[in-house]
Structure 1
Amino acid sequence: MTDILLNALAAGLILALVCGPLGTLVTWQRMAYFGDTLAHSALLGLALGLSWQIRLEWAVLLACTGIAVLLFALQLWRDTALDSLLGILSHTSLALGLVALSFMDGPAFDLNSFLFGDLLAVMPEDLRLLAGIATVVLLLLGCYWRGLVAVIAHAELAAVEGRNVNALRLLLMLLIAATVAVAMKVVGVLLITAMLIIPASAAGRLSRSPEQCAVIAILCGVAAVASGLAAAWTWDSPGGPSVVLCAALIFVAAQFSRGFR
């Protein structure tokens, strides 16, 4: 039982470490619905993985990165509003995934475990995959942080300064896609968006710079993971949803904290 808790804690802490800075960029650019769109496309990846008989994490990663690239291409090609494209791709990919799953033969698949995740069922191989993706994402964020912040703050000014705005935007989308695809094993498809958004939103109320917001978001995520696992252990509640609820409580506390300042 100790190993189960340690694996869950390690996975949650890795996720918090990645979602802190990444969620900061997502919330600053008002791309919260983008993570939700990728989460919905994960069902399409699930259908691909089951039909091709490959590891589900890699199939979901393929589907999420494909949707991210398609969204980026459509936004440039048709110059359509981002929120409209997100709504179209989100529901289309979700519907396509559900239809594909309904036509598949073979043993029944527990869709609930995929949607909501099971933090207490994380295996060592899951930890290695999560740590590998997290390392790549954090290294790329560290290398391109200033450019990403510049693009989010003022894209036109960043272009004048010689930054490749489109490349940086695509990079951010791909980093979000990779994080969503791997983290769905930890907190589930429908809850990964909450882990990206809630700690960063709480940190945004308490910080004055992107760097400060990223650090505080990491701390909020760590606190949510630790308290959520403690609650799950004490009251035998689901691990992933318990973590998200604790993150929501931290967000509420941040609102009151800001109000008293």
Structure 2
Amino acid sequence: MKAAPQAQQRLIDLQELDSSLDRLAHRRRTLPELAEIERLNARRAELRDQIVAAETELGDLEREQRKAEQDVDQVRTRADRDRKRLDSGTVTSAKDLASLQAEIESLGRRQSDLEEVVLEIMERREEAEARVNALRAEADGSASELAALTERLNAEQSKIDEEAGLTTTARTGVAKDVPDDLVALYEKLRGQFGGVGAAVLYRGSCQGCHLALNTVDLNRIRAAADDDVLRCEECRRILVRTAESGL
């Protein structure tokens, strides 16, 4: 392949612009805000599950407390009824009086036990309410943090996109100075070799693979015409000669 030395030099300019675009694309993909947003979204998903579980537990405890309070009320009502019978004087049999007194005492003990149950449930309910409130507060805080992160991410992406747009415009202008067949070869090699399709020969070394060329290859390059498009024998990238090639 043949191309004017000036066109080959412009190929290096094209490579530099493409490398800049690659770096910008990499920066955009690896912005720290992206990782933070991913971490925060994962935590928010955990919080949603934890809130549902905590609210379910709280609902169960509320029902359990209502049931326990109803049991207390039923025992208290029965005990009050028995006391009224005892105080009314309608029960005259000593045996019946003893039995009624024993039942009132038993109901008193039962009421005391049930009230302890209610107190224990109330403590557990307060703890559950505290967990729900704490989880909701964290969820609200994470929502604010996510909004701030998203705003910062959008700003950073906009800056990168603006720079990429200017670089792309410059690339379009440079590409016009390079023959189509040379651009096609360059693009093919870029795809094969990690985004670098052309490299400068600097002081006897290829700047694509950073290996020093041997004497035979250097002599071959010295003998080549100025418009010959050369390839590195090691990495097969397009090799562009400059005043500092060491020839």
Question: TM-score, normalised to structure 2's length?
Answer: 0.24
Looking at secondary structure, tell me which structure has more strand per residue.
2
Which has the greater radius of gyration? 2
Question: Which structure features the higher share of helix residues?
Answer: 1
